Amino acid sequence: MEITGPMLDRFDEILTPEALAFVAALQREFGARRLELLDARQARQAELSAGGLLDFLPETKEIREADWQVAAPAPGLEDRRVEITGPVDKKMTVNALNSGAKVWLADFEDANSPLWENCVAGHLNLRDALDRTIDFETGGKSYALRPDAELATVVVRPRGWHLDEKHAQVDRQPVSGSLFDFALYFFHCAQRQIDKGRGPYFYLPKIESHLEARLWNDVFTRAQELLGIPYGTIRATVLIETYPAAFEMEEILYELRDHSAGLNAGRWDYLFSVIKKFRTRGREFLLPERNAVTMTAPFMRAYTELLVRTCHKRGAHAIGGMAAFIPSRRDPEVNAVALEKVRADKTRESNDGFDGSWVAHPDLVPVCREVFDGVLGSRPNQLDRLREDVSVSAAELLAVSETPGEITEAGLRNNVDVALRYLAAWMGGLGAAAIHNLMEDAATAEISRSQIWQWIHNDITLADTGAQVTKELVERIISEELAKIAQEPGYDEKLFGQATELFKEVALDDDFAEFLTLPAYAQMP
């Protein structure tokens, strides 16, 4: 195994020979299967582009009709009424653990810019937090962990199967980013978590089929064997954030059943996946501008209702989606609007039967907790709400065309503005960026650029101006929005130059890039 990234201060504590041997063992055993499954994604995409549709799988009907349950909730995961998400930098680690949330999603994926320094330092921060050696001071402010009993349960999200870690190679091939992130955390922190009465827990992103969940389950089983950790200690929550996965929820739970901690409604990536999977299929799968698509859209209601029904039928937690609004400590009006929107969102989820939900900022933890307290009381979850009233068809999941809303120049400009700002932040090492009072991550940038690609290729006319969305119009708007951004304090000409070129590549090229993070990562040092 070869490491080509720089060995910065204390990196030798994480990238030990033993830890790297563990990474290499998993890569050698499972790397080829991962690539086969990525090829299967491409084959399915070709079928959809040629006119195919998604449906519940006939070959797994017996699993859906059989009587089975996932493992009982693991220690520290019984009550998940509010979960906070964020990258694994030092400040976020302390703030998230202290936030009052029940769970912290420690993110190596969409909220983390995968600079080598970020990825390895993130593992140091997690280990230091478990050892209670992370307290620090900066800018005249102290950051110190509360007592262990008051800290959120750590659930780590590794990168998706599609991403490599280019600074680590096994047998001259890049290591899977998923296996790299999982293996280093598991090697250093699994026993530390067990010693604290918890366990090594994970969120699994971007899964597109139950076969990809099966691969993760096999990785878990082998990892536990190699380190002598009891079978079933690992628990994983799968994000249902791709369109194909919505049709395989039960099968995904079944594959991971001894290691399952439930499913999460990853709403932003789900919208991106809807666009991506059916981008060539005309107006039947055309969404209005991003801010017009709400969780009350028929196809989104079908998706979330099915998720709760599926999870509770199998004894698994159903976790709601991200509240991306950011409260403002300086602007009472902005703060009031953010809290009102979050309250409405979490009220809908709690009434639908979700067991908990996500927020992106510590100041939103109290409102989310208050809403779920009102439904749960002293109960840890709503697993007893089986939602037997729910019956969702494939046609209802596919009813994208019933989504109300328009496509306007303001919506187009917002997509351009958000994508440029986020990509500049991402290239600069910041994976979660506060933009216009919303916490943006890679998923929302994906929606922005994929919508523009779809609008260009479907001869869309803007509702407010009557102009047709063309490459030329988008290029003009890019120049105009960039000129506005350039007048703001802290503007970085180099980063926005990189962001602009990258955005044009992923939004304006005739060929659709599967993930914008792939060409972006290729430009990273």
pLDDT score for 371: 98
441 flagged as catalytic: yes
What are the average pLDDT values for consecutive 10-residue runs of the chain, which has 525 residues? 97 98 98 98 97 97 98 98 97 98 98 97 98 96 97 98 98 97 98 98 98 98 98 98 98 98 96 96 93 94 98 98 84 89 96 97 95 98 97 98 97 97 96 89 94 95 97 98 96 96 97 96 94
Residue 318, strand partner residues: 263
* Sequence-distant contacts of 159-162: CB under 8 A, at least 24 apart: 159/108, 159/109, 159/114, 159/205, 160/109, 160/205, 160/206, 160/207, 161/34, 161/37, 161/38, 161/206, 161/207, 161/212, 161/215, 162/38, 162/41, 162/206, 162/514, 162/515, 162/518
Residue 511 bears catalytic tag: no
Model pLDDT, residue 102: 98
- The pLDDT score that the predictor gives to residue 302 is 98
- Among 164, 281, 441, 449, the active-site one is 441
pTM for this predicted structure: 0.97
Identify which of 200, 96, 102 has the alpha carbon closest to the alpha carbon of residue 153.
102
Residues 462/408, Cβ–Cβ less than 8 Å: yes
Paired tokens of 480 = 């105009």
Residue 262's pLDDT is what? 98
Give the Å distances, CA to CA, from 367 to 105, 339, 343, 347, 482: 18, 7, 6, 10, 36
Distance CA 372, CA 381 (A): 9
Marked catalytic residue, from 157, 257, 267, 309: 157
